[in-house]
Amino acid sequence: MTDPRTDPRKVIGGREFVFGTLPADQALDVLGVAVKSLGAPLAKMVSDGEVAAGVIGLIAANIDLPEVKKAINALLSVTACVGQEGDGRCDMNRTFTGRVFDMLQVAVESFKVNFSDFLAAGPLLSRLGKKTL
């Protein structure tokens, strides 16, 4: 769960969210879905040097919706919505019915919090397995 004293916060859609940290095993599951869904399209975008129209189609072709929903639920499970009834923990249906775009923005922010080291290492990842980083 989140610690409102120390965890990052952000206002999205007029509501304040507090972002906690995923356990390592859940983080690996989320990362796997992200890489599977976005890896090939992002590689194509980088190799083309620009956002190609076909990239959206590649993303859509690679998405396994049940797996994406599980990943989003994992990210929401460590995110709290300040002022929400109960324990405040985000729930896909209770928190975001009628606000799907807000849900995606919250999931992206939670991803940034939980994978800041991975995202910062982006330029280094292309050199993994080589003699020098």
Question: Would 91 be classed as within a structural domain?
Answer: yes
Q: Which residues pair with 18 in a beta bridge?
A: 9, 80
Over the stretch 17-42, which tens digit does the pLDDT of each residue have?
999 999 999 999 998 888 777 666 55
Question: Would 69 be classed as within a structural domain?
Answer: yes
Question: Would 110 be classed as within a structural domain?
Answer: yes
Integer Cα distance of 109 and 122 in angstroms = 17
Question: Would 133 be classed as within a structural domain?
Answer: no
Question: Would 90 be classed as within a structural domain?
Answer: yes
Question: Would 95 be classed as within a structural domain?
Answer: yes
Question: Would 81 be classed as within a structural domain?
Answer: yes
Output the pTM of the full model. Answer: 0.73
Quick one: tokens of 76?
A: 């929401």
Average pLDDT value for residue range 108-113: 90
Looking at the structure of the chain, the number of domains it has is 1
Half-sphere exposure of 71 (CA within 13 A, CB side): 23
The domain in which residue 84 lies consists of 20-117
